[in-house]
Amino acid sequence: MGCRQWVSLTLVMILVASPVTGKGVLYPTDSESRTVYYLDGIWNFRPANESDPDVGHREGWYKQELRKTGPTIPMPVPASYNDITQDKAIRDHVGVVWYDRTFYVPQAWNSNVTRIWLRFGGVHYAAEVFVNGKLVTRHAGGHIPFLAEVTSFLKYGQKNLISVAVNNTLTDITVPQGSVGTIHTDSGPKIFQQYKFDFFNYAGIHRPVVLYTTPSVFVDDISVKTNIYDDTGVIEYSVSVEGGSANHTTVSVSLLDRDGNYVIRDVVGHQENLKVPQARLWWPYLMDPEPAYLYTLEVRTTTDSEVPEDVYRLPVGIRKVEWSNKTVKINGKQIYIRGFGRHEDSAIRGKGHDFPLIARDYNLIKWIGANAYRTSHYPYSEEIMDFADREGIMIIDECPAVDIGFGFKDDLLEAHRTALTSLHRRDKNRPSVIMWSVANEALTALPQAKAYFHAIANHMRILDSSRPITMAINAQHDTDFAGQFMDVISFNRYNAWYFNSGRTDTITQNVIQEAQNWHKKYNKPVLMTEYGADTIAGLHLSPEYIWSEEYQVNLLSKHFEAFDQLRNESFFIGEMIWNFADFNTAQTFIRVGGNKKGIFTRDRQPKSSAHLVRNRYWTIAAELDSATPPDNISVYVCESPVKYVKTEPGHTEDMSVISV
């Protein structure tokens, strides 16, 4: 079976069978009416042969335990499967792999007033799910949750089998795009995955798998929008209920403060406005002494039958985002973004969910004084986003449309719209999300990009008019066709790295000029979303030389000079380093063990530049937001430290570097 035939017969079938629905968008949490049972752990794993990807379907691997069909290996879930074994073929596998495990369901769950749901937080890229040999759902899109009701598929009080087929194939109509090629090897022709984006195409069951129960009439979705009028906060909510008619279902909503005290009680209605006097606002980290204040919206549904009450609790932050042709504001105060692009990436786990890593990352983000990051280049896990809500880190929420534009086809446009709809449906209620990013480094210099991104921008604004939209552009300002449809112009540029390599003396004026050109062309706020240099931790060269820690420090410092001049021009709203931490990529001679542009190593240890960035970010926080820097922001040098001074040409001026 040829590569194109496999893609057209199987992956496209999954794409067509993946509508966007409201069911399962609410994160599964325990309550008086709901029980959550995690299926994470060690599963059985078996790849299908790349030359016969349909073998598992044809032979019915899902109809029995996988170990009975042939050799399997133990595989952790959640995790990427690529780096778990010593097998190069598994690391680089293209096509279908199979997972399965058994589990028990209590007899008590077998009730005519209980429904049971199987939910996946994220599977990359496409998935088919079987329970006890029966297909229960298909899904495409590697970063968004999906679920199936499995009430009628389960054996209560007995052992059950769940089987999952995962396909990592990317095509010209998937988001992100890719293609499948054939290479002639010493052992014959083999297929391989090609893609333009600069991160490894990790695959597998990346996020938690849960069974959870609801009453037969239950809260299916909640939508929240907030506003501020003087010292009164307004929460506009809408509750969707499944399983019962509106005439026979009552929705009651209460609001609790951070300490669990009721602020508002028992407001009846599927859709109402809650007015909160002297509201505590959700502020970003370091913009307020008590940032990230969260209320709890408690939603209860009751019916006039014997169906038990359903209870769901949603964290809510009251805040307002506004923007103009020069600024973005939160709660009426202008923000200056200081942060990073990032990746969900770590050794062994790949893109797999990992709470210790999440906690470490947020500790480093706060340690360094950042207030924002972009979910480059796909939606991050719900658990990561929960941390952002709780810690006050602003998020530019990006859909997985990275490096797209190789044929702006109608099918690609539809898949892109679906990805945006899914992202919005999942993250619409998050106070941390202050901006939507609809793409990264798309081919916006092509004339076809104009109509394409006009349609994408219109779609996003229909979904949400309360947040600005942006996209990270790497075209030049005079060739770009897409920025006109954005609210904020975000640009990526690698001065003194991908061009003018080694010439840090070209950075400052180039950055200033380009930012000015973008604002002049589109009359919109401008944000630099990527800049940086690959750096091998521990490589020290003097004078500084590319790949050394000294070079990264100097390159960042030259950008800081540009940013400080741009901050005086009012339209420049922030700086985001590429990257927070080193990450894995496809094998290529320009990557030494992956992308090394992180200011932290892949195992989250600081390079020299991290201390420079920390000094700068905390200094800006003190200047703009009256934040108090930590005592250890710098180390003691002497009683009267030498000041940085500009000198005449030919004299030494590198006694220190510009941090602010």
> Contacts for 594-603 with beta carbons within 8 Å, 24 or more apart?
594/200, 595/198, 595/199, 595/534, 596/534, 596/535, 596/536, 596/537, 596/547, 597/532, 597/533, 597/534, 597/535, 598/535, 599/340, 599/368, 599/552, 600/364, 601/537, 602/345, 602/346, 602/347, 603/346, 603/347
pLDDT band per the 50, 70, 90 thresholds, residue 577: very high
Considering only the top CATH level, what class is 322-625? alpha beta
Question: CA-CA distance, 524 to 471, in Å (whole number)?
Answer: 13
Amino acid at site 136? V
% of residues, the chain, pLDDT over 90: 83
The question of whether 298 is a catalytic residue gets the answer no
516: left (phi over 0), alpha (psi -120 to 50) or beta: alpha
**Whole-number pLDDT of residue 4:** 42
d(CA 636, CA 630): 14
| Distance separating alpha carbons of residues 26 and 269, to the nearest angstrom | 19
DSSP state of 570: S
Residue 28 in contact with residue 34, Cβ under 8 Å?
yes
Bigger pLDDT: 11 vs 191: 191
Query: CA–CA separation, 255 vs 267, rounded Å?
Result: 9
CATH of domain 218-319: 2.60.40.10
Q: What is the DSSP string of 9-61?
A: IIIHHHHHT----STT-SPP--BTTB-EEE--EEEEEEEPPTT-TTHHHHTTG
**Mean pLDDT (the chain, rounded):** 93
Longest dimension (CA), the chain: 87
Predicted confidence (pLDDT) at residue 247 exceeds the cutoff of 80: no
Quick one: pLDDT at residue 406?
A: 83
Rg (CA), the chain: 26
Q: How far is CA 534 from the centre of its chain?
A: 23
Q: Is 3 a residue whose pLDDT tops 50?
A: no
pLDDT digits (tens, 9 = 90+) for 285-324: 999 999 999 999 999 999 988 889 999 999 999 999 999 9
* Domain boundaries of the chain, sorted by first residue: 1-215, 218-319, 322-625
Q: In this model, does residue 642 exceed pLDDT 60?
A: no
Class (C level, CATH) for 1-215: mainly beta
How far apart CA 369 and CA 630 sit, in angstroms, is 10
What is the reported pTM? 0.93
pLDDT at residue 426 in the model: 97
Contact yes or no for 461/422 (Cβ under 8 A) = no
Instruction: Give, in order, the Cα–Cα distances in Å from 84 to each of 88, 145, 409.
Output: 10, 23, 37
Banded model confidence at residue 75, pLDDT cuts 50, 70, 90: very high
- Which structure tokens are listed for 455? 């349609």
Decide if pLDDT at 467 tops 60: yes
Contact call for residues 204 and 164 (beta carbons, < 8 A): no
The burial of 250, by beta-carbon neighbours within 10 Å (0-12 exposed, 13-18 middle, 19 or more buried), is given as middle
Query: Which one is catalytic: 128, 242, 298, 441?
Result: 441
> Do 1-215 and 218-319 agree at the fold level?
no
Q: What tokens appear for 80 in the block?
A: 């990427």
pLDDT in tens, 494-547: 999 999 999 999 999 999 999 999 999 999 999 999 999 999 999 999 999 999
Find the length of the chain: 660
Nearest to 125 by CA among 93, 101, 156, 154: 93
